[in-house]
C-alpha cells in the first residue's frame, strides 16, 4: 500500500493520488508562488482584518483556491520567519 501525495490516505500501489481533487490540489499548491513583499505587507503592515482582505484579493486575482492559499501563506511565512 502506498499513500496519496496530497492527503496521505492509503491507496493502491498503482495510483499516486486517491482522487482527482487531490491531484489538482497538489499541483496547484506546488505551483503557487507567494512574493516575499506580499508576506511582509500582510504580516508587518496589516492587522487581521486587512490581512484577510488582502489574502482574499490575492486569491481572486491569481485564481487560487482560498484554503490552499492560506496553507501556502502559513508555510511560507514560517520559512521566512514571520510565524513560529
Tell me: do 47 and 71 sit in the same domain: yes
- pLDDT value, residue 60: 97
Per residue in 23-40, pLDDT tens?
A: 999 999 999 999 999 999
Q: Do 22 and 36 have their domain in common? A: no
Query: Would you state the pLDDT for residue 83?
Result: 87
Q: Which domain holds residue 60?
A: 32-84
CA distance 27 to 11: 18
Q: How many domains does the chain have?
A: 2
Q: Which residues pair with 2 in a beta bridge?
A: 11
> Please, what are the averages of pLDDT over each run of 10 residues along the chain (84 residues)?
92 94 96 95 94 96 96 95 86
Q: What is the DSSP letter of 82?
A: S
pLDDT recorded at residue 3: 95
Amino acid at each position: 500500500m502506498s499513500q496519496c501525495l496530497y492527503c496521505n490516505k492509503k491507496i493502491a500501489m498503482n495510483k499516486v493520488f486517491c482522487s482527482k481533487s487531490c491531484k489538482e490540489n497538489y499541483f496547484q499548491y506546488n505551483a503557487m508562488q507567494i512574493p516575499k513583499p506580499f508576506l511582509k505587507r500582510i504580516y508587518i503592515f496589516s492587522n487581521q482584518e486587512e490581512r484577510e482582505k488582502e489574502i482574499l484579493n490575492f486569491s481572486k486575482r491569481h485564481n487560487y483556491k482560498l484554503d490552499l492559499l492560506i496553507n501556502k501563506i502559513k508555510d511560507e511565512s514560517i520559512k521566512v520567519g514571520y510565524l513560529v
